[in-house]
Amino acid sequence: MPYSELCAADNALLGTGRGNCGKILGYDKRYYLAKPGFTFASPDAAKIEANWDAAIEAKNIFPFPEVVELEPQNAEATFYETPSGKTFKTKSEKRKTQFKFIENIANHAAMKSYDDQAWEVFFLTEKGYLRGNSHSDGKVGGLPLSSFYVNAQETSTIDSNPEQTPTVMEFNDVNDWDKDYFVVKITESWLLNIEGIYELNCVPTLPATAGATFVFTVDIVTAGDNVGVDGLLLADTILLDAAGVDVTIDSLTPDGTVAGRYVVTATDTMTEGTFGIRGVVTKVDVYYQSQPVAVTS
């Protein structure tokens, strides 16, 4: 028996009564990239701040800054009309949007690191609605993207236009929103103000001292403004030897005078390795991470 999935039974007409529902969600003021497959257990779960905090800390959700400009670049469906008057759809419509941000080069570089990878995306609108894609099992996730590009930073112009970061997202299927939408109202401003993970730079200040104990001094500063971060704990840090094996850190001593400066010791005869922040750490409601940096004697 011939088999085809070309004629899916998808012609159900839904009720269009509107009652007293709000009509306008407002423009997308912020968006949050999510790892493909990440979901909240229910629409209500997506309204809980602690669930967002956990998702950010687990690197499942990556908040982007506030949008300053957006431009829909949708492509309409195309049709072929035969001389006999029949019409065939030859290309489905596409939803594509450009968002612009005004951010410094450090934040631009951070955004750029998300370029050209697979993402799903949640939106928060100016009217406080969170929108995304509902799944058949009751879970809710972001709208799947078929492409996501962070374009080159537009530098300032002589008539004072500031630097801008253009990002372009093309959605996988318009029906992920048009039919399988989810919208919840976020009543407070926590989601609008939620922050992503801050990137730290670890900068060894002197060559390490090798011997029975490996000792080095490192400045740990936030990327972009180079402000030292105090209050880190020994458990927040990680030291790997040249072979990439975790080395037990024996002590961490804050300088106490220079902000963000620490002396690290390990009872190990290593002469070189890498040091950084272990995973994602939280200090006073701010998340931090770092890339590993080489430390050598």
Partner 1 sequence: MKIGTKEVQFRKGFKPKSLSEFTKVYGAITGASDKELKIAYNKLNGNTKTASGKSKESKSEKPS
Question: Least distance (Å) from partner 1 to the CB of residue 233?
Answer: 6
CB of 100 to partner 1, least distance (A): 44
Binders of partner 1 among residues 130 to 159 (CB under 8 A) are none
3-class SS of residue 290: strand
Q: What is the closest distance, in whole angstroms, from the C-beta atom of residue 57 to partner 1 in the complex?
A: 22
For position 282 contacting partner 1 by CB under 8 A, the verdict is no
* Total Cβ atoms within 10 A of residue 56: 20
Per-residue mark of binding to partner 1, 212-241 (x: CB under 8 A): xx-x-----------------xx-------
For residue 51, give the 3-state DSSP assignment. helix
Q: Select 108 or 261, whichever has its Cβ closest to partner 1.
A: 261
Residue 250 touching partner 1 (CB under 8 A): yes
Q: What does the alpha-carbon distance between residue 135 and residue 176 come to, in Å, rounded to a whole number?
A: 9
Q: How far is the CB of 229 from partner 1 (least distance, A)?
A: 15
CB of 282 to partner 1, least distance (A): 17
Q: Which of 193, 251, 269, 291 binds partner 1 (CB under 8 A)?
A: 251
Choose between 118 and 263: whose C-beta lies nearer to partner 1: 263
Using CB under 8 A as the binding rule, whether residue 265 contacts partner 1 is answered as yes
Residue 204 binds partner 1, judged by CB under 8 A: no
Q: Which two tokens stand for residue 183?
A: 């919208």
When asked if residue 256 is in the footprint of partner 1 (CB under 8 A), the reply is: yes
Residues 6+ positions from 148 with CB-CB distance below 8 Å:
33, 114, 115, 116, 117, 118, 119, 121, 167, 168, 169, 170
List C-alpha distances in Å: 85 to 79, 80, 93: 12, 10, 22
Contact call for residue 271 and partner 1 (CB under 8 A): no
- Selected range binding partner 1 among 143-151, 178-186, 208-216, 272-280, rule: CB under 8 A: 208-216
Residue 161 as a binder of partner 1 (CB under 8 A): the answer is no
The yes or no reply on residue 263 touching partner 1 (CB under 8 A) is yes
Decide if 73 contacts 160 (C-beta within 8 A). no
Q: Which stretch of DSSP H or E encloses residue 203? A: strand 197-204
Q: Could you tell me if 25 and 127 are in contact, meaning their C-beta atoms sit under 8 angstroms apart? A: yes
Q: Does 245 bind partner 1 (CB under 8 A)?
A: no
How many residues touch partner 1 under the rule CB under 8 A: the total is 16
**Continuous H helices in 24-86:** 49-57
Query: Using CB atoms within 10 A of its CB, is residue 239 exposed (0-12), middle (13-18) or buried (19+)?
Result: buried
Q: Which of 293, 219, 213, 206 lies closest to 255, judged by CA?
A: 219
Q: Does 254 bind partner 1 (CB under 8 A)?
A: yes
Residues lying near partner 1 in the complex (CB under 8 A) are found at 212-213, 215, 233-234, 248-254, 256, 263, 265, 267
